[in-house]
Structure 1
Amino acid sequence: MTPAGGPQPGGKMAANVMHFARLLRRAGLPVGPSDMLAAQEALGLIDIGRRDHVRTALRTTMVHRHEHEDLFNQAFVMFWRDPELARTAAAMALLEAAKEKRPERAPPGSRRLAEAMASPQEKRPRPQDEPPQIEADMTVSERERLQQMDFEAMSAADIANAKTEIRRLALPLSLHRTRRLRPDPAGPHVDLRATIRSSLRHGGEILSIDSSRRVTRPPPLVALCDISGSMSRYAQILLHFLHAVANDRDRVSVFLFGTRLSNITRQLRHRDPEVAFQLVAHAVPDWSGGTRIGEALSLFNRNWARRVLGQGAVVLLITDGLDRDGATGLAENMERLHKSCRRVIWLNPLLRWDGFEPKSQGIRAMLPHVDEFRPIHNLASLRELVETLSRPSNPRAMDAWRVAL
């Protein structure tokens, strides 16, 4: 089959398609060898001189998700050098000169695309006559050091590595039996209705007994995360964990609270983390502000508890317990929250200190109404949380804290 117009793509065009696919892959799009071959075949069926046809052909073969279209469009313009881009930019500059200049936020994915466009640094080859020298005295694995480092003490490079480790964490939850039944030939329950229905196919004669089994599924997970000034650094990193959990399993609800309560479940459903966090930034106006834990829990109990705490939900309460309003209404709302769910796990970064004591009014009001009290300040504590959620709760684990009250 010959192209609709223009020569058969080959030579430099084939190499350019390969480099463009590599650019998309470095930017985070799942483009494989089969997609490159499909793009080559698609370019052979269109008019190469039509830019819109080339864009459509490449987008059809290389983009598999709707959320990747914006990143693809930016990459296409940057890689193939739109000839109208300079003319459009000059016209926009003339229009913007008459208006007040305002800083505009870069579109989602532009930072990753810029990093992908940058050519990777070439490593200098080691001389063959010099054997590699490894100093093993008093060295610690970089990954082990990262596991024990406090989130608040991490540099920008450490935070980037920590986010990569967080995305690899899987969150297992113990299965719970529901009221629903599903057909199962080896089930322990006799399904009388299904038995009679199947007997009608044989003139009312019962030839077999149908059975069923109760459906088991993980319980809903609800996260209430504090984003006040004292918790902002931890919340920024833990949001990557909550984003990975929200995209890995269903029935996950995430709320942020500072001076008000914000539901960001819909924003975190976006698979691209950069786009999801930009949506969260627009939806949450009180980041790094004060803390009103009692008022936030009151709003949650009144507006959201009946919607998201059904079927034995597990609640992750992420806060340091330092309330600006003291303990006003905190004990009552914590008691109601505890009675509305199966399990409340309080994650407090202050537990990283060995000499921590529950002396503040907010912590003393909240402790009697939680099932587990755990630290959350580094990757090691986050892995322990993942292991804890896969096991049933231990009521005796809170005895020492209750005695301290």
Structure 2
Amino acid sequence: MTPHLAAPTTPAQATAPSERLAGFAALLRDHGLTVGVAEQQAMLQAMLYFGPIHERPLQAAWRAIACHSHREWQLWADVYERFWHPEKLRGGVKVSGQTRPSRNLRQSVQALHDQMDAAQKPASSPASQPGQNAAPQTAGDSASSLHDEQGSGTPRAQGGASRTEALHQRDGQMWMPQELSALQSLARQITAKLQPRATRRWRVAPRGQRLDLRQTLRRSVGWGGELLQPAWKVKRALPPRLFILADVSRSMESHAALFLRVARAFALEADARVFVFHTRLAEVTPYMQRDTPAIQEKVNAVTAGFGGGTRIATSLQDFARHHARAQLNRGARVWVFSDGFDTDGPEFLSAALQEVRARGARITWFHPTRQVPAAGALQRARAMIDRFVPLASLADLAAARHVLH
């Protein structure tokens, strides 16, 4: 029997299997698994070896390649089913607004073998004509760019090579481990620059402003009563409390991923309390300080107001009167991540910010556009805000680290 030869594939069709594998690898990285280029190439070789009908040994091979700890081994089954067999999952809710085409592992492996067969045809075949390439490609082989919705003109890589470092333009959902590490390092630098708040209490120090007479007399016992080892005191300084309020309403949906990543970095480095708001306010600090696979789903459940309006003034009043009433004091920092478009009355935002400032807090407003948003409520409340900082990418955060103190 003559073996069946697949029809010539176009370049777009040829990239489908490896693109799906790249998407699966990206999903694994998003759940904390370390899947780099070497692991992805090994998974591609395993796919070519086992073929389209041996899914069980292929899954076992991939699991051995991608999992490096007991936690990752336990997590594998759920991530695998979510990507390759979403029809088996029940009760899943997606709130990001993005959709993915249906995936079938067997079809992807079969398509990959078909494209390998097409690549081995003579040069006269359509698949080997100039301008076409049937070799396997990974996601990102074709380059394209997209301008952001604010019209700032900053190109964002849609795939393929880019002239800009990924760290400086990373505003999507997928983050590489080294980029998360760079973000954490940047948060550590900014946290170190936050000016501590002096208190009325004193602490012992090798050199200080005041002599600690009691401690000095205790030390003199070992010297026969001679005051040869004086003890000094300095003012005790406490790091300022940091509060982050991230807008997750419909108008901020494309920026919420970046804002939550940044908020989580400061929750770990500066012990910041993190809140999200749309039509209501909710604290997500416990979710930010823990690293488990279910955390993102819980944050999605809290931010289920996507598609609704934004009540910034009401959320700020709830924050000042209830959530942070005991901790919002002199020297506290309040960072608001929002575009400033509020469905409350334009006069209410100024009153809410005044309520926060009355407790001694400094307010910094991070906005996703180059210019300060032209929202009427925000323009009225500009006198209540200490500083406006653009934040559309990590490059903006790195540029602002010298003024965040």
1:103 matched to 2:91? The reply is yes
2:206 corresponds to? 185
C-alpha contact (below 8 Å) 1:151/1:378 kept by paired residues: no
1:365 corresponds to? 380
1:312 matched to 2:331? The reply is yes
1:325 matched to 2:325? The reply is no
Alignment of 1:267-306 (within 5 A): 267-272=287-292, 275-306=294-325
Q: Distance in 1 between matches of 2:361 and 2:329?
A: 9
Q: Distance in 2 between matches of 1:301 and 1:202?
A: 54
1:346 matched to 2:365? The reply is yes
2:11 corresponds to? none
For the structure 1 residues 167 and 217, does the alpha-carbon distance in structure 2 shift closer, same or farther, using more than 3 Å as the test?
farther
For the structure 1 residues 161 and 218, does the alpha-carbon distance in structure 2 shift closer, same or farther, using more than 3 Å as the test?
same
C-alpha contact (below 8 Å) 1:199/1:206 kept by paired residues: yes
Measure how far apart 1:223 and its partner are.
0.9
Q: Distance in 2 between matches of 1:213 and 1:331?
A: 39
Measure how far apart 1:338 and its partner are.
1.9
Q: Distance in 1 between matches of 2:319 and 2:390?
A: 23
C-alpha contact (below 8 Å) 1:151/1:377 kept by paired residues: no
1:263 matched to 2:277? The reply is no
Q: Distance in 2 between matches of 1:194 and 1:364?
A: 55
For the structure 1 residues 326 and 168, does the alpha-carbon distance in structure 2 shift closer, same or farther, using more than 3 Å as the test?
same
Q: Distance in 2 between matches of 1:149 and 1:330?
A: 27
Q: Which amino acid aligns with 1:189?
A: R
Unmatched tracts of structure 2, length 5 or more: 1-27, 36-63, 81-86, 95-102, 113-143, 160-169
The count of aligned residue pairs is: 280
Q: Which amino acid aligns with 2:381?
A: M
C-alpha contact (below 8 Å) 1:184/1:211 kept by paired residues: yes
Q: Distance in 1 between matches of 2:327 and 2:154?
A: 31
Q: Which amino acid aligns with 2:308?
A: G
Alignment of 1:2-401 (within 5 A): 28=32, 69=71, 71-75=72-76, 102-104=90-92, 154=156, 159=171, 163-164=175-176, 165=179, 167-169=181-183, 170-171=186-187, 172=190, 173-179=193-199, 180-199=201-220, 206-247=227-268, 249-272=269-292, 275-310=294-329, 312-350=331-369, 352-353=370-371, 358=374, 360-390=375-405
Q: Distance in 1 between matches of 2:285 and 2:401?
A: 20
Q: Which amino acid aligns with 2:209?
A: P
Q: Distance in 2 between matches of 1:77 and 1:364?
A: 47
Unmatched tracts of structure 1, length 5 or more: 1-23, 32-57, 80-92, 107-113, 122-141, 391-405
Q: Percent identity?
A: 28
Q: Distance in 1 between matches of 2:325 and 2:91?
A: 42
